[in-house]
Amino acid sequence: MQDSSKDNNNQTRFKTIFELSPVGNKIIDSSLNILQANIAMVKLLGYDRKEEIVGTKILDFTPPEFHKDWQILQQQLWSHNSSSFSLESALVRHDGSLIRCRITSILFEEHGETFGYTTIEDVTEQFILRQQKDEFISVASHELKTPVTTLKTNIQLLQRLVKPGAVIDQKITRLMQGAVNGAGRLTMLIDDLLSTTRLEHGEVSLNKGWFEIGPLLELCCDHVALQGNYELIYAGDPSLRLYGDQFKIEQVIVNLVNNAIKYAPTSHTIYVKAETLDGMTRITVSDQGKGIAKKDQHNLFDRYYRVKEAQIINISGLGLGLYICAEIIKRHGGQIGVDSSEGKGANFWFTLPNEPA
């Protein structure tokens, strides 16, 4: 008797929270039918009464080009891959206007049936601000690219004008080399910003073909060999063939090797391993640096994400390198990740399908 009154109390409490929450709440079944909705949900969609929403399908309020988002949510949740899932999508309001929203769904079971408790937050304002920021970054990086390239080329030309054997003040030589290095770093930052904009706008196409890993690694590692401070050890069969966009895969490996140098400066040996696993080729770049805390590993591949440790903050970067790598690998149908524990180095890996799709 006491248990059932406790159950009733819990149910009333849940109902009150569900109804009064300022965030749109709804309960859906596995076919995305709306079984229950709170008033915030009704208002979010621009309606007045719950009856206008309950009994419909969430896809009725979703523009066709965003239906795939709900399919992803359905797949993730109802295949029981995870008990909760969150993504950003768009919904059409009663007056036809589009709102951007963050959808979070949590699965629960009742009488042997599975349901999704879903919250929907209007994030249209944040979306517009993000678009404006992206637009600014895109225009600014395009505008910066040409003068910085001219600057770099002109300094290199000046360097070449110095006749072999000419007596020239050491200080001038050093300053000129410093200017070339600075312009080189600027070019790399601008290229990362441009790549990000292109990826965001879906302007990146892949030029796929077969290539051998050995010659590619030599290309990727030339700059490391030139520095002289690091040794790159390749473990694997150099004649192993990969299928993909050679230039972009090179970009990924260079990025991972550069990060190993940047974030593990005391680790003088960097290992690159290539192997075939479960029908995929897996490339791993390993260092013996400080490694990465578990709490940061999840976000490393997000745009602009940087670890907030003091020693990392002092190393310059935009937090775009790994995001670009992840986008390139995803577009190849592969996966990317990191295995690391603090103080024990980092193993960044990616996989590529062995066969053309």
**Residues near ligand ADP, by CB under 6 A:** 259-260, 263-264, 287, 289, 292, 300, 305-307, 312, 317-323, 346
Minimum distance of ligand ADP from residue 308's CB (angstroms): 9
- Cβ proximity to ligand ADP: between 37 and 260 the closer is 260
Closest approach of ligand ADP to the CB of residue 198, in Å = 17
Least distance between ligand ADP and beta carbon 340 (Å)? 7
In the sheet that holds 336-340, the strands lie side by side as 231-235, 269-277, 280-287, 346-353, 336-340
Residue 340 or 351 having the CB closest to ligand ADP: 340
DSSP string, 114-141: EEEEEEEEE-HHHHHHHHHHHHHHHHHH
Q: Least distance in Å: CB of 335 to ligand ADP?
A: 17
DSSP 307: -
Rg (CA), the chain: 26
User: Judged by CB, which is closer to ligand ADP: 69, or 250?
Assistant: 250
Q: Which is nearer to ligand ADP, 123 or 318 (CB)?
A: 318
**Of 37 and 148, which CB lies nearer to ligand ADP in the complex structure?**
148
Q: Which is nearer to ligand ADP, 102 or 198 (CB)?
A: 198
Helices (H), 228-305: 246-263, 294-297
Give the count of beta carbons closer than 10 Å to the beta carbon of residue 139: 11
Q: How far is C-alpha 285 from the chain's CA centre?
A: 18
Nearer to ligand ADP, 158 or 293 (CB): 293
Least Å distance, CB 218 to ligand ADP, is 21
HSE, CB side, 13 Å, CA atoms: give it for residue 334: 29
Separation CA 66–CA 196 (nearest Å): 22
Residues present in the chain in total: 357
How buried is residue 78: exposed, middle or buried, by Cβ count under 10 Å (0-12/13-18/19+)? middle
CB 163, min distance to ligand ADP, A: 39
Q: With the CA atoms of 59, 61, 65 and 69 taken in that order, what torsion angle do they form, in degrees rounded to the nearest 10?
A: -50
Closest-approach residue to ligand ADP (CB) = 317
Nearer to ligand ADP, 23 or 318 (CB): 318
Nearer to ligand ADP, 73 or 199 (CB): 199
The torsion region of residue 112 among left (phi > 0), alpha (psi -120 to 50) and beta comes to left
- As given in the structure block, the two tokens for residue 95 are 């007056």
Rounded least distance, CB 312 to ligand ADP, Å: 4
| C-alpha span between 176 and 167 (Å, rounded) | 15
How far from 274 is each of 132, 202, 216, 287, CA to CA, in Å?
A: 41, 29, 12, 15
Rounded to the nearest whole angstrom, what is the least distance from the CB of residue 259 to ligand ADP in the complex? 3
For the bound state, the minimum distance from the C-beta of residue 140 to ligand ADP, rounded and expressed in Å, comes to 17
Amino acid at 145: K
